Amino acid sequence: MSGIPHNIGNISNIGNVGVPQKARPINKSDMPFSEVLKQASGDAPVKQANLVFSKHAEKKLEHRRIDFSDADIEKISNAVDRLKQKGGKEGLLLYRDVGLIVNVNENKVITCVDRRHLKDNVFTNIDSVAIVE
């Protein structure tokens, strides 16, 4: 054992060397491959529909059997972005037969009302309205 150094240390101190790291998931979208590649490498910001529904809004959606597809969510999120660009803080979005009250700064749907419950309703503390198509 004269040629082997005695201060090599314990092999457990090596850590995760050689252990593959988990790959970051890439969301499928309509963007060009070059943009996906930039995002994957960290060279470009990732833009996603970051709309959040409050617990109250989720209950209302479930109770009233209102379903939104991914495309619907994208349209609603884009409308919230437009309200934000115009300086809106609390908005009413009219989409199909649904009214959505949103906190624009938080990208959050606070509550929702279907057409049947829209009649004779009064909305207060709203500074902007958008009709989403």
Fill in the amino acid letter for 4. I
Strands of 1-133 (E only): list them.
Answer: 52-53, 90-95, 98-103, 108-114, 128-132
Residue 111 bridge partners (DSSP): 101
**pLDDT tens readout for residues 76-97:** 999 999 999 999 999 999 999 9
Question: Cα(103)–Cα(107) distance, rounded to whole angstroms?
Answer: 6
- The SS3 call for residue 74 is helix
Cut 0.75: pTM above it = no
**pLDDT tens readout for residues 30-52:** 556 655 555 565 544 334 468 99
Domains in the chain: boundaries: 11-41, 52-132
